Amino acid sequence: MRALIFLALLFVSNAFALNNITAQSWLIADDNGVMIQGENPNEVRSIASITKLMTVMVFLDAYKSLNLKIDQNRIQRALVSSDNRAAKELCESYPGGHGDCIFMMNFKAKEMGLNHTNFFEPTGLSVFNYSNTEDLVKIVDAASTYPEIVYASHIKKHNTNPTIGKYDYTISKTGYINVAGGCIVAKVKDKIVVILGSKNVRTRFVELEQLLRA
């Protein structure tokens, strides 16, 4: 009886926590990308600096295919401290230049079946960089196959995600502009979490931890 009461209380407290999430759209998926739980998963929203995951992926695709020297420092600055200048420089150094970089970001999105995603520039500062949580699950899953991105996601110093080291992240990327609100995506072992439109930059981490424990 005590065990049943404990489980009931645990369920109620967890449901209460999830009901108090400020994010306008969020999703928990398994490691196959199948949704476990979510709210407004199809809602298209500005994604801010989560954009940088795609910027880095297309940069790495091009440089590896051409066997060019990869600037690891610039990649880490773009992903760890979310340095906008570093993201711009990666896109500008893309073979063919900035325009080809943006074209390939959108081309790769279409190849991945991301029908609700668009990239206008490489940093995430534009409101015209948008997606939804379902598409972002696919982006996070794809990003987890790039060793350079996984490595950057484990760097604690100057990381915009203060919970690095507290959880065993495979991938983690934050984002924020006024229109987007607090955003974060993360892959932890067998779970992918996407949060868009959290109230502010602090609530996104509180809500991330709630969803990781859900």
What pLDDT score does 104 carry? 98
What pLDDT score does 12 carry? 42
Q: Tell me which residues of the chain have a pLDDT lower than 50.
A: 3-16
Q: What is the DSSP string of the chain?
A: -HHHHHHHHHHHHHHHHHHT---SEEEEEETTS-EEEEESTT--EE-GGGHHHHHHHHHHHHHHHTTPPP-HHHHHHHHHS--HHHHHHHHHTSTT-HHHHHHHHHHHHHHTT-TT-B-SSSSS-STT-EE-HHHHHHHHHHHTT-HHHHHHHT--TT-S-TTBTTB-EEEEEEEEETTTEEEEEEEETTEEEEEEEESSTTHHHHHHHHHHH-
Tokens linked to 182: 């607090």
Tokens linked to 78: 């773009």
What pLDDT score does 7 carry? 38
**What pTM was estimated for this model as a whole?**
0.91
What pLDDT score does 5 carry? 43
What pLDDT score does 2 carry? 53
Catalytically active residues, by annotation: 49, 52, 82
What pLDDT score does 214 carry? 82
Asked whether 202 and 181 are in contact (CB, 8 A), the reply is no
Cα distance between residue 54 and residue 75, in whole Å: 12
